[in-house]
Structure 1
Amino acid sequence: MARDTVDARPVDTIAALAETLAEGCKPESDFRIGTEHEKFGFHTDDLSPISYEGASGVEAVLTGMEQLLKWERIEDAGKIIGLADPTGGGAISIEPGGQFELSGAPLESLHQTCREANSHLAQVRQVAEPLKIGFLGIGMTPDWQRKDIPVMPKSRYEIMTNYMPKVGSLGLDMMYRTSTIQVNLDFSSEADMVKKMRVGLALQPIATAMFANSPFTDGKPNGFKSFRAQIWTDTDRDRTGDIPFVFDEGFGFERYVEWAIDVPMYFVKRGTTYHDVTGTTFREFMNGGLRGRIESPEPTVGDWDNHLSTLFPDVRLKKFIEMRGADGGPWRRICALPALWVGLLYNQDVLDAAWELVKDWTQDERAALRARVPKDALQTPFRSGTVLDIAKEMLKLSQEGLKRRAIMSDGDLDERVHLAPLEESLAAGLSPADVLLKRYEGAWNGDLANLYRDYAY
């Protein structure tokens, strides 16, 4: 999230909070695709993480991007922490450990999404190469220890850093050592939102397996295909997970609100000040729990939007739906992740077929998938087969959805072209992590310096 919301409209009832989510409903003709992707910056001479300050740091890259793009500067306590397209397009932000993120513009087609990603990576290279900085797309830092990763000067991250060890053992690893690709998608009605949330949550572990790309920690194999996904299982149980209530009869906007308002907040922003309110739920906030502690102690829509951005379920609901299960990866997978979900969710017949695929899965089965996939990825057992079998069905449905969209590129190809990396990996039965491990054990001879050489953008 590049910029915290400052909407000052008061909000004091569950119905009002639910209405802010319902504001996201839009006709299918207005559906858009918003892709976010993160990457790790490193010094090309010694492969160490880049700090915030200095001639070859995050600040220098952001300033260079500001001059190149002419985007608006976003600051926190006088320090540049991001950029926003003044025409209402995308935004650039930094994650806690300096992960460099593009939050893409809401676009009509996957072809546009891929052009946006390619343009962004070219622009970043243009600025970073003279600074001897490279960028790596992977789910978790392969060899940096957490103590060696610099802390970005962002007030909300300071609050989160202090809070994370109180609620889980791996939250700081999540903040400082992981990166992701995710896609934000629209819904037309409450019923459409419900079906997309259910399909998304059921199939999120399958997407995690397909994009698993974090098999190394502290310079050696960690025993997982997606250690990033494993990290999320012990980060903060109040605000993460597969939120099983989504599958309950009667689920809708208000039920999501009922869950969200009982999750402890991180902060409330007033002016330029971030107030640490950890331990206070949004429900308590609505009931006057911050009176006497902060100025203007009544909650606003901006407070609510900011709180929603600090919830981390596998699929997150705002005025749109966020698919959050994929590890960061090579540039082709930046296009493949939104392609997978757009194909599944943006055609009604295909969405219905995807629901038929998963609707009889039990909560125990969904939980078992989420627990096993980080370790075994595509080889995870499920019923009489494996996750690879489900992934192939999932891909086939997505291909059909993109075929029906029939949106052509300048080269007269439809959007299925962006699924090519997934077709290749599923045909081989290998996740990206499987390939990395084979290279580590083979041609790389256990030297992860090769990873930076072969996989940098």
Structure 2
Amino acid sequence: MARDTTDDQPIEKIDELVSYIAAGCKPPKAWRIGTEHEKFPFYVDGNRPVPYEGERGIKALLEGMRRTLGWDPIEDAGRIIGLVEPTGQGAISLEPGGQFELSGATLETLHQTCREGNAHLAQLREIAEPLGIRFLGLGASPKWRLSETPKMPKSRYDIMTAYMPKVGTHGLDMMYRTCTIQVNLDFSSEADMRRKMQVSSRLQPLSTALFANSPFTEGRLNGFQSWRGEIWRDTDNQRSGQLPFVFSSDFGFADYVEWALDVPMYFVIREGRYHDCTHVTFRQFMKGALRKELPNGMPTMGDWANHLSTLFPDVRLKRFLEMRGADGGPWRRICALPAFWVGLLYDEEALDAAEELTRGWSFEEVIAMRDAVPAQALSASFRNHELRETAREVLAIARMGLKNRARFNREGFDETGFLNPLDEVVARGTTSAQEMVNAFNTRWGGSIEPVFLEHAY
């Protein structure tokens, strides 16, 4: 989740909220790639979860990373809860259950993205291994019950923990027991944003299928290939899922703003303190609903930025687009996820082809696909064939887009190789989740413990 911000500029009109998002428009030469990836820390001794406190806890891990990197600490009520690179290029943050997240720098090529991921994991191992800590690359916690999962000392998470059971059945699972890989990408104009958001919204369930990597819960098979995908089907549906208005031919920034205005808020920050605001929408906030409850009780641009970061649609619009459909996974997936979306969205020929392929997909068809893939993944039926066949077509488009980008590394290779893990999934016809299920039923002997060896960073 994003680092919470402060910006005291007052908001007077809704048009200012639209302009705030529109300010993200950039010319293609300025487009960048921002990759985020989460992983579960665990103690090698007993494959146990890692608490915040203690000589070998998350706090000690963050302090070690701070000394190694020289990054600035992010604090909440005096406790370190993250790190930020001094110039703002990258941050480390904690998800509610201790999931360790790198929000990467905005980079020009996928080669740089993979080097960043390599460097981060190497630095993390250097600090974590003396503490007896390793990290698990899965989409959902495979072993620990919710009651066994640590809680990180972040004020916003206290508010969300109290609120989530009121609005869905899986909100706490989402917070404490899931991990993702996502990529943040730019747009040049409102029209460009529309095309990218529509294409990526239609294809987000396919991303969930390709990256399905969470078949275990509490040490047992859970019946899903992406339990994380199933969790998101009933988390807080006022702020998550697919958005029907995005599929409109005239969808624009103002439509997203109008939707966001009527989503209940989570919190407002005043003088470093988080105030529970789940009882009002942002529109009500603008009309003075919190004037008597809060110091400086009228909204600011910082409040708007924070509100946008607490909306969870499958594709999230801020001053960039966030692709949110994929399970967390191993190192190769950290590179494959941005490769998939950069290939589709950052080349005009590829975007045209992806748009043409998906143009006729209705909102209802996409919802049906989204409902099917947590259990069936690439075996789900879509338009009278297996989704695997659609995946093959889409990956060919993404490969074309990366080839057209012609971004080479020092050895002369372009970015297309980063799609290889996804090509392998489609070629063999089994997801990472299915491979793990097969191992669980055969050579793992029905034990979950080998996952901590075979799928650890």
**Do these two structures clear the TM 0.5 threshold for a shared fold by scoring above it?**
yes
Paired residues of 1:286 and 1:298 also in contact (CA < 8 A): yes
Distance 1:13 1:236 in 2: 28
Aligned-pair CA distance for 1:274: 0.3
- 1:45: which partner in 2? 45
Asked if 1:246 corresponds to 2:233, the answer is: no
CA distance, structure 2, for counterparts of residue 314 and residue 155 of structure 1: 25
What one-letter code is carried by the residue in structure 2 that aligns with 1:179? C
- Matching of residue 335 in structure 1 with residue 342 in structure 2: no
SS in 2 for 1:233: helix
Counterpart position of 2:284: 284
In structure 2, the partner of 1:113 is 113
Q: CA–CA distance in 1 between the matches of 2:2 and 2:211?
A: 24
Q: Is the 8 A contact 2:267 2:276 kept in 1?
A: yes
Distance of 1:134 and 1:268 partners within structure 2: 35
Q: Distance in 2 between matches of 1:331 and 1:279?
A: 40
Q: Secondary structure at the match of 1:397?
A: helix
Identity of aligned residues (%): 58
Match of 1:425 in 2: 425
The alignment's C-alpha RMSD in Å is 0.7
Bigger mean CA deviation after superposition, 357-366 or 192-201: 357-366
Report deviation, 1:20: 0.4
Where in structure 2 are the equivalents of 1:168-207 lying within 5 Å? Answer: 168-207=168-207
**Cα distance in 2 between the residues matched to 1:242 and 1:157:** 24
Shift of 1:250: 2.0
Q: Deviations over 1:136-170 (max 9, x none)?
A: 01000001100000100000000000000000011
1:88 offset after TM fit, Å?
A: 2.3
CA contact (8 A) 1:2 1:84 kept: no
Name the residue aligned to 1:401. 401
Matched, 1:143 2:155: no
Query: Which residue of structure 2 lines up, in the alignment, with residue 9 of structure 1?
Result: 9
Q: Which residue is equivalent to 1:344? A: 344
* Contact 1:224–1:374 (8 Å) recurs in 2: yes
Q: Is the 8 A contact 1:2 1:83 kept in 2?
A: no
Pair 1:310-2:310 in alignment: yes
Q: Partners of 2:304 and 2:227 in 1: how far apart?
A: 31
The residue that corresponds to 2:61 in the other structure is: 61
Instruction: In structure 2, give the amino acid aligned to 1:355.
Output: E
Distance 2:29 2:302 in 1: 28
1:67 is paired with a residue whose SS is helix
SS at match of 1:285: helix
CA distance in 2, matches of 1:308, 1:431: 33
User: How many residues are paired up?
Assistant: 457
Give CA-to-partner distance per residue, 1:323-359, whole Å, 9 cap, x none.
Answer: 0000000010000000000000001121011011111
Q: Contact (CA 8 Å) 1:267, 1:276: kept in 2 or not?
A: yes
Give the structure 1 partner of residue 268 of structure 2: 268
Mapped to 2, the partners of 1:145 and 1:227 lie a distance apart of: 14
How many Å apart are 1:87 and its aligned residue? 2.3
Query: What secondary structure is seen at the aligned counterpart in 1 of 2:174?
Result: helix
Q: Which amino acid aligns with 2:372?
A: R
One-letter code of the match for 2:250? G
1:12: Cα distance to partner? 2.8
Partner letter of residue 426 of structure 1? V
Greater shift, 246-255 or 368-377, is seen at 246-255
Matched-pair contact (CA < 8 Å) for 2:84–2:91: yes
Distance 2:116 2:81 in 1: 21
Quote the Cα distance in structure 2 between the aligned partners of 1:335 and 1:391.
18
Counterpart residue number, 1:439: 439
Letter in 2 for 1:361: W
The residue that corresponds to 2:364 in the other structure is: 364
- What is the aligned partner in structure 2 of residue 125 from structure 1? 125
What amino acid is aligned across from residue 194 of structure 1 in structure 2?
A: R
The whole-number CA distance in structure 2 between the counterparts of 1:387 and 1:305 is 36
The TM-score normalised by the length of structure 1 is: 0.99
For structure 2, list consecutive stretches of 5 or more residues without a partner in the other structure.
Answer: none
1:402-432 deviations in whole A, cap 9, x for unaligned? 0000010112110011111111111101111
- The 8 Å contact of residues 2 and 309 in structure 2, kept in 1 or not, is answered as no
Question: Residue 304 of structure 2 aligns to which amino acid in structure 1?
Answer: W
Give deviations 1:267-322, integer Å, cap 9, x for gaps: 00012100001120000000111011001111111000000000000000000000
Q: Give 1:208's aligned residue.
A: 208
Deviation at 1:244, TM superposition (A): 1.2
List alignment gaps of at least 5 residues for structure 1. Answer: none
Separation in 2 of the partners of 1:13 and 1:355? Answer: 34
Contact 1:2 1:82 in 2 (8 A): no
Secondary structure at 1:156 match in 2: helix
**Partner in structure 1 of residue 233 of structure 2:** 233
Q: Secondary structure, in 3 states, of the residue corresponding to 2:83?
A: strand
> 2:294 corresponds to which residue?
294
Deviation at 1:248?
Answer: 1.5
For 1:424, the aligned partner's letter is E
Distance 1:36 1:441 in 2: 32
Distance 1:314 1:378 in 2: 18
Equivalent-residue separation in structure 1 for 2:3 and 2:435 (angstroms) = 37
Give the deviation of 1:5 after TM superposition. Answer: 1.0
What is the letter of the counterpart of residue 334 of structure 1? I
Q: 2:74·2:84 contact (CA, 8 Å) conserved in 1?
A: yes
Give secondary structure in 2 for the equivalent of 1:360. coil
1:21 equivalent in structure 2: 21
Distance 1:356 1:271 in 2: 50
Partner of 2:449: 449
C-alpha separation in 2, matches of 1:174 and 1:2: 16
* Cα distance in 1, alignment partners of residues 254 and 364 from structure 2: 25
* 1:2 CA displacement: 4.8
Contact 1:225–1:374 (Cα < 8 Å) also in 2 = yes
The residue matched to 1:143 in structure 2 has which SS? coil
In the TM superposition, residue 3 of structure 1 has moved relative to its aligned partner by 2.4
Q: What is aligned with 2:167?
A: 167
